[in-house]
Amino acid sequence: MRRTALLLASISATLLLASGVALAASFPGHWESVTGEESLYYYNPEKVYPAVVEEEARGWTALDGRFNGRGVRLIEVGSQAEATVLIDGYRDCDNKDLLGVSRNRERGPNLLGINTCALDGRSRKMREHVITHEFGHHLGSGHQPRKFCETSVMLELVPCGRERTVLTKPGTTDVSWYKNRWVS
Ligand SMILES: [Zn+2]
């Protein structure tokens, strides 16, 4: 299988924010998908893979339960005004290697983009992986190094270029990251 790029458009923004205080300061208001009460409110008006979106939101929210409510809850809402993340299906058939994208916006909810042209023809497993990955960015995670290809959903490329190693839920590396970020 060819290597498939995830999220090239937002990698730099995400990693820059994670790695540099000065740069973070130059992007005020970015990545506020999680509110002060540690909830993420998502809205999926176009019903983009709705069952998968719900399942993967539950997958991340399960960590909140695992850590006794000290994590983040992902909650579906029914209007853009209530949302901090807008699920946005788009069709970019010229860039089918780009499966999903997360973008912060200064006004309105941040965007979680899903390239349906790329994913309509892929397995449910791949859709689950991409949506879990993008939610991971909205929870504040950048990308993990390739050495974590079998323990993280947050690799820049589909893990090791092999679909069989694709995770559909946060892996042990992601749980460690989450614990440091949200629980400890
Ligand atoms: Zn990514």
Distance between Cα 184 and ligand 1 center (Å)? 24
| Concatenated DSSP letters of 45-107 | TT-SSHHHHHHHHHHHHHHHHHTTT-S-EEEE-SSGGG-SEEEEEE--GGGTT--EEEE--SS
Distance between Cα 47 and ligand 1 center (Å)? 22
Boundaries of every domain in the chain: 27-141
- Residue found under tokens 């023809």: 121
Structure confidence at residue 161 as a pLDDT band (50, 70, 90):
low
Distance between Cα 7 and ligand 1 center (Å)? 5
What are the beta bridge partners of residue 75? Answer: 41
> Which position has the higher pLDDT, 29 or 162?
162
The pairing of beta strand 110-115 with beta strand 100-103: antiparallel
**pLDDT of the residue at 13:** 39
77: left (phi over 0), alpha (psi -120 to 50) or beta: beta
Task: Domain 27-141: state its class.
Answer: alpha beta
pLDDT tens digits, 92-145: 999 888 899 998 888 899 999 999 999 999 999 999 999 999 999 999 998 899
pLDDT tens digits, 36-75: 899 999 999 999 999 999 999 999 999 999 999 999 999 9
Q: How many CB atoms lie within 10 A of CB 50?
A: 12
pTM of the model: 0.84
Distance between Cα 143 and ligand 1 center (Å)? 6
**pLDDT of the residue at 174:** 97
